[in-house]
Amino acid sequence: METRHFSIGELAGAAGVPTSTLRYYERAGVLRPTGRTAANYRLYDESSLERLRFVRAAQAAGFTLDDIQTLLALRAGETAHCAEVQELVEARLGGVEERLRDLRSVRGVLRDSLRLCKEREATGECHVLETLGRSAKADS
């Protein structure tokens, strides 16, 4: 049975990503062409498509490309390394928790700013512009 080969454009289309993403993944070391044509164009096979889908799923789950390289290496091993995967998951979860705290703080500031803007709208004063202006002067 003959292996199906994809050009970079065909692989990108099959995965629903731009070709620039594939080139970026290649530079980052998470995807490699499985061959080249006589004209030196990249060729990929079915395993490349499966790997690309894994990379995209891992990114959607919050893993960095460095994490994904580790996951791919662990996946290629002969035994499961659940403890190492758990460490990566815990690290990413910690980062998500921190970002959520930051976002909650930003949400509070924006809600307060919006409330003050609405309260002062009739006066023509803009609390947000005044506050940002004071911050800009203090930073200089």
Residue 126 domain boundaries: 80-140
Both 58 and 90 in one domain: the answer is no
Both 90 and 42 in one domain: the answer is no
Both 84 and 133 in one domain: the answer is yes
In a domain, 136, yes or no: yes
Structure tokens at 2: 């003959």
CATH number, domain containing residue 18: 1.10.1660.10
Q: What is the pTM of this model?
A: 0.74
- With residue 98 as reference, give the H or E element that holds it: helix 82-120
Say what the pLDDT of residue 80 is. 66
Per-residue pLDDT of the chain (140 residues; tens, 9 = 90+): 667 899 999 999 999 999 999 999 999 999 999 999 999 999 999 999 999 999 999 999 999 999 999 999 888 886 667 888 999 999 999 999 999 999 999 999 899 888 888 888 888 878 788 878 887 777 77
Both 84 and 59 in one domain: the answer is no
Where helices occur in 29-81 by DSSP H, the ranges are 46-60, 65-76
Torsion of CA 43, 47, 53, 58, to 10 degrees: -120
Decide: 132 and 139 in contact? Cβ < 8 Å. Answer: no
In a domain, 103, yes or no: yes
Number of domains in the chain: 2
Both 84 and 48 in one domain: the answer is no
In DSSP terms, 43 is beta-bridged to 35
